[in-house]
């Protein structure tokens, strides 16, 4: 196979589909001898070969006349396409250029029964000028418009719908952002309005690892296209490998043996509608921590403060790393322990007059300082603190899962920790309930569903995701009991016993029907949560029971 240079490969978003995957997807999508099929970015022709073979098996007399394709890479036409088509390439059925510039009946292609393929994986950030231009021209479909942050693959999927005949089918091999990004979810939600059946199959096996892409893959299959709005039946599956993919695509009767997620599942929707549950955003605002512009300069540890002889009045404690507070509150003891461990927990501010402090600031190279955009936005480049002290923090990147940490010391945080500002009337009890909610099985499930998954299994929450988290509020319970459980759960988390912390939180919310959810429902949430974690980390056993 021809090897593209890395820069050209990145520009084109090229990742050639493994033959077993293209064959399985094609077998699902192409169903009759008269089917016509369009592959909008055929590249190495894995799908073209699979389509042609499938049509021959179905009895198509002249399969070459039923296949249409497009690709922007000349190598695809020179090296791959002639071999895949065997008996010659119909010049009027293949277009060398950008698929997004083509329109049914006004270009090379007419409408077909099937659109299938592996679109280019080019992020919005890496799009070339011509790619941005052609994307803008096809970003709308009826009243729907793709987000300006969408990657190139999303435009291919949306534009591909225009080439379908009524009742037509689509099958796409997509990156993990198909279900992990806001624009991907919005696109899938829109697609469900124009097909009778839609399914997403999440493939744990890293099929593009050898080509330098370690993210997971999603297979989107759709059938029964209609330009009029429908309400699609929907299913979502997680499979470990290509063998699992084969089982799903070959036998719809086996659906029940796979975890149906439906972006949270019926269970999650049912629980979310309970009167005891609300979005965190309804009781609090969430913002990023302060942006210093250079943490290594502004955030120091105890030894660095002493070395530079900085006055204590010029260094202020700051929540800069999740490990400074491992429980549900940030207190004086946490800072004392962190200082003894050498953690960077002091923010340098010009709140004192000292020659040593002035010397420290003068040590920052003036030319480099002038290049920092963050510094230009501040009245005084030396002072990164915005003076807005939060009521609590949200630890959004942590192996043990996210946490709400109540602010008992009145400090601020860097942008590695989100800040929470509770609304008026949300007192101590409801603040502790919010923190306990994120630890319990319902809250952990919510965090897993609302969060964003990145390469290597990282789960991250933007402020908008945190506002969407489901929490228990305004419960009829004694504040002394809440304080007791809060303290116990916090202690377990501090010791690293996440499982016992979840057990305690679950038991508290389940007791006496406090939140209107049975113990079995909590256990179902926990099982779904662990399966989602396994999916994210691509593990068979996450280690919890």
Question: For residue range 345-381, what is the model confidence (pLDDT) as tens digits?
Answer: 999 999 999 999 999 999 999 999 999 999 999 999 9
DSSP one-letter string for 192-249: TTS-SEEEEEEE-S-TTGGGT--S-EEEEEEES--SS----EEEEEEESSHHHHHHHH
What's the CA gap between 479 and 476, in Å, rounded? 9
What's the CA gap between 245 and 20, in Å, rounded? 10
CATH of 6-260, one of 3.20.20.10, 3.30.450.40, 3.40.50.150, 3.30.420.40: 3.40.50.150
**Could you tell me the two tokens for 71?**
């690709």
What's the mean pLDDT in 93-113? 89
Q: 419: which strand partners?
A: 287, 393
For residue 258, is pLDDT > 70? no
Residue 353, helix vs strand vs coil: coil
- Segments making up each domain of the chain, as ranges: 6-260, 284-537
Cα torsion through 448, 451, 454, 457, rounded to 10? -20
Q: Is 425 left (phi over 0), alpha (psi -120 to 50) or beta?
A: left
**Could you tell me the two tokens for 479?**
């504040």
What's the CA gap between 467 and 399, in Å, rounded? 21
Question: Residue 203 — φ and ψ, nearest 5°?
Answer: -105, 115
Q: In the block, which residue shows the tokens 């300069």?
A: 297
pLDDT higher at 319 or 518: 319
**Could you tell me the two tokens for 123?**
């992020």
**Could you tell me the two tokens for 302?**
């105890």
Please write the tens of the pLDDT for every residue from 218-252: 999 998 899 888 766 777 777 778 888 888 887 63
Stretch (H or E) spanning 315? strand 315-319
For residue 540, is pLDDT > 70? no
Least confident of 45-54, 251-260, 408-417: 251-260
Q: In the block, which residue shows the tokens 């987000």?
A: 147
Please write the tens of the pLDDT for every residue from 306-343: 999 999 999 999 999 999 999 999 999 999 999 999 99
Residue 345, helix vs strand vs coil: coil
Q: Using an 8 Å Cβ cutoff, are 346 and 297 in contact?
A: no
How does residue 213 score in pLDDT terms, banded at 50, 70 and 90? low
Please write the tens of the pLDDT for every residue from 400-435: 689 999 999 999 999 999 999 999 999 999 999 999
**The pLDDT value given to residue 252:** 39
**The pLDDT value given to residue 357:** 97
- Write the CB contacts of 213 (distance below 8 Å, at least 6 apart in sequence): 15, 121, 175, 206
Please write the tens of the pLDDT for every residue from 167-189: 999 999 998 878 888 899 899 98
How does residue 75 score in pLDDT terms, banded at 50, 70 and 90? confident
pTM of this prediction exceeds 0.85: no
**The pLDDT value given to residue 12:** 47
Chain mean pLDDT for the chain: 86
* Cβ neighbours around 544 below 10 Å, total: 13
Q: For the chain, what is the radius of gyration of the CA atoms? A: 27
């Amino acid at each position: 196979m021809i090897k593209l240079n890395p820069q050209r490969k990145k520009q084109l978003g090229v990742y050639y589909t493994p033959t077993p995957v293209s064959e399985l997807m094609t077998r699902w999508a192409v169903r009759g001898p008269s089917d016509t099929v369009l592959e909008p970015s055929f590249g190495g022709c894995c799908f073209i070969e699979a389509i042609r073979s499938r049509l021959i098996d179905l009895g198509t007399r002249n399969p070459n006349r039923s296949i249409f394709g497009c690709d922007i890479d000349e190598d695809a036409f020179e090296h791959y396409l002639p071999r895949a088509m065997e008996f010659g390439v119909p010049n009027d059925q293949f277009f060398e250029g950008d698929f997004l510039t083509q329109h049914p009946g006004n270009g090379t292609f007419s409408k077909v029964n099937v659109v299938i393929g592996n679109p280019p994986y080019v992020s919005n950030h890496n799009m070339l000028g011509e790619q941005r231009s052609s994307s803008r021209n096809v970003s709308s479909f009826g009243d729907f418009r793709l987000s300006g942050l969408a990657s190139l693959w999303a435009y291919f999927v949306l534009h591909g719908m225009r080439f379908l005949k009524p009742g037509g089918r689509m099958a796409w091999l997509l990156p993990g952002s198909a279900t992990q990004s806001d624009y991907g979810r919005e696109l899938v939600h829109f697609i469900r309005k124009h097909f009778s059946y839609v399914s997403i199959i999440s493939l744990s096996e890293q099929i593009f690892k050898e080509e330098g892409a370690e993210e997971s893959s999603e297979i989107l299959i759709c059938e029964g296209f209609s330009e009029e709005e429908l309400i699609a039946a929907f299913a979502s599956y997680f499979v470990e490998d290509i063998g699992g993919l084969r089982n799903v695509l070959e036998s719809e009767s086996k659906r029940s043996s796979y975890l149906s997620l439906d972006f949270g599942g019926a269970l999650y929707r049912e629980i979310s509608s309970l009167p005891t549950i609300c979005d965190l955003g309804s009781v609090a605002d969430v913002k990023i921590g302060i942006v210093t512009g250079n943490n290594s300069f502004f955030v120091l540890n105890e030894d660095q403060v002493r070395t530079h002889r900085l006055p204590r009045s010029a260094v202020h404690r700051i929540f800069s790393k999740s490990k400074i507070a491992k429980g549900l509150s940030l207190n004086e003891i946490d800072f004392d322990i962190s200082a003894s461990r050498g953690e960077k927990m002091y923010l340098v501010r010009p709140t004192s007059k000292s020659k040593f402090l002035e010397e420290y600031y003068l040590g920052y190279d003036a030319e480099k300082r002038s290049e920092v955009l963050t510094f230009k936005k501040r009245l005084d480049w030396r002072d990164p603190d915005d003076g807005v002290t939060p009521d609590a923090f949200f630890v959004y990147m942590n192996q043990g899962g996210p946490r709400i940490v109540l602010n008992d010391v009145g400090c601020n945080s860097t942008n590695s920790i989100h800040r929470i500002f509770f609304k008026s009337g949300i007192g101590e009890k409801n603040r502790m309930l919010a923190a306990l909610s994120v630890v319990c099985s319902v809250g952990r499930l919510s965090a897993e569903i609302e969060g964003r998954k990145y390469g290597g299994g990282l789960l991250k929450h933007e402020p908008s995701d945190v506002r969407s988290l489901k929490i228990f509020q305004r419960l009829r319970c004694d504040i002394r009991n809440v304080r007791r459980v809060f303290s116990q759960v916090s202690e377990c988390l501090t010791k690293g016993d996440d499982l016992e912390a979840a057990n305690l939180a679950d038991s508290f919310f389940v007791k006496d029907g406090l939140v209107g959810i049975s113990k079995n429902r909590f256990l179902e949430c926990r099982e779904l949560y662990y399966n989602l974690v396994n999916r994210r980390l691509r593990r068979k056993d996450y280690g919890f029971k």
